[in-house]
C-alpha cells in the first residue's frame, strides 16, 4: 500500500464514523423549558394535554424546537412563598432538561396575601436569583420573563391590584436590569374575560393566545 493510500484510508474511515454524530448534532432541536404555575401547566384548559400553552407553542414553533411543560399549579416565584417553585420537581426537571431557552411565567400566586404581605420585599431578589440559576446552566439558555396574565376577579387570594400594580413593575425592572426580553401576557389577554371561565385561568383559546405571544417573542429577529 502506498503512503498516500495509508494516509487517506484512516481519514475516510473517520469521516464515515463521525458524520452521523455531526449530522445528529446539527439536527438537534432547540429545547424550550416553559417554567411556571397552573397557567403554564394548563389548569382550566379543555383537553389539557393537547391544548396547554407549551404544547401549542411547540406546534407553532415547528420541528426545529422541542418544548417541555414545567408548570406547577400553585407555585410561587418567592422562595418563602406557600409553594416555592424552587422546591418542586418541575424546577428540578427544568434544570436537568439543559434548555436552550427558558420562559418564566410566575408571579400570579405570589400576589396572595400570605405570600405578598409577608415577603414582597424579597420578590425582586428571588426573581433575579431564578434567572441567574438558569443562566448559569451549562447549556447557557436565553431567558425570557413573562408578565402575568390579568386577574379578572380576586379569587383564592390572587389579587389583580397586586399583580398589575406591584408584581408586573418589579418583573419589568428586573428584566431591564438583567437585559432580558419580556413577554407581555398581561396586555395580550387584557379585555378578554370570556377566555377566563373561572376569572383566573385561561381556557384553551386563552392558552392559544399565550402560545402565540410567546412564539412571536421567541422568533423575533
21 domain residue, yes or no: no
Domain total in the chain: 1
Intervals of the chain under pLDDT 50:
3-25
86 domain residue, yes or no: yes
What's residue 174's pLDDT? 99
167 domain residue, yes or no: yes
18 domain residue, yes or no: no
CATH of the domain at 172: 3.40.50.1110
What's residue 176's pLDDT? 98
125 domain residue, yes or no: yes
163 domain residue, yes or no: yes
Tell me which residue range forms the domain holding 43. Answer: 29-218
Please indicate, yes or no, whether the overall pTM of this predicted structure exceeds 0.85: yes
Are the C-beta atoms of residues 31 and 97 closer than 8 Å to each other? yes
Burial class (CB in 10 A: 0-12, 13-18, 19+), 205: middle
9 domain residue, yes or no: no
Are the C-beta atoms of residues 78 and 123 closer than 8 Å to each other? yes
The count of other CB atoms within 10 Å of the CB of residue 208 is 19
What's residue 26's pLDDT? 56
69 domain residue, yes or no: yes
Tens digit of each residue's pLDDT (9 = 90 or more) over 14-34: 443 444 443 444 579 999 999
Amino acid at each position: 500500500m502506498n503512503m498516500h493510500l495509508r494516509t487517506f484510508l484512516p481519514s475516510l474511515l473517520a469521516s464515515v464514523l463521525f458524520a452521523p454524530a455531526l449530522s445528529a448534532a446539527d439536527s438537534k432541536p432547540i429545547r424550550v423549558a416553559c417554567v411556571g404555575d397552573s397557567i403554564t401547566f394548563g389548569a382550566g384548559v379543555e383537553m389539557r394535554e393537547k391544548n396547554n400553552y407549551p404544547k401549542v407553542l411547540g406546534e407553532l414553533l415547528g420541528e426545529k424546537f422541542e418544548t417541555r411543560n414545567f408548570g406547577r399549579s400553585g407555585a410561587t416565584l418567592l422562595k418563602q412563598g406557600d409553594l416555592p417553585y424552587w422546591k418542586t420537581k418541575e424546577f428540578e426537571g427544568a434544570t436537568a432538561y439543559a434548555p436552550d431557552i427558558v420562559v418564566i411565567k410566575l408571579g400570579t400566586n405570589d400576589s396572595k396575601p400570605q405570600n405578598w404581605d409577608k415577603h414582597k420585599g424579597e420578590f425582586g431578589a428571588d426573581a433575579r436569583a431564578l434567572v441567574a440559576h438558569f443562566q448559569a446552566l451549562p447549556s447557557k439558555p436565553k431567558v425570557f420573563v413573562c408578565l402575568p396574565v390579568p386577574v379578572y376577579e380576586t379569587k383564592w387570594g390572587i389579587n389583580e391590584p397586586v399583580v398589575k400594580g406591584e408584581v408586573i413593575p418589579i418583573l419589568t425592572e428586573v428584566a431591564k436590569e438583567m437585559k432580558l426580553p419580556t413577554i407581555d401576557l398581561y396586555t395580550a389577554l387584557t379585555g378578554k374575560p370570556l377566555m377566563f371561565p373561572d376569572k383566573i385561568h385561561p381556557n384553551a383559546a386563552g392558552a392559544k393566545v399565550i402560545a402565540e405571544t410567546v412564539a412571536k417573542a421567541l422568533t423575533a429577529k
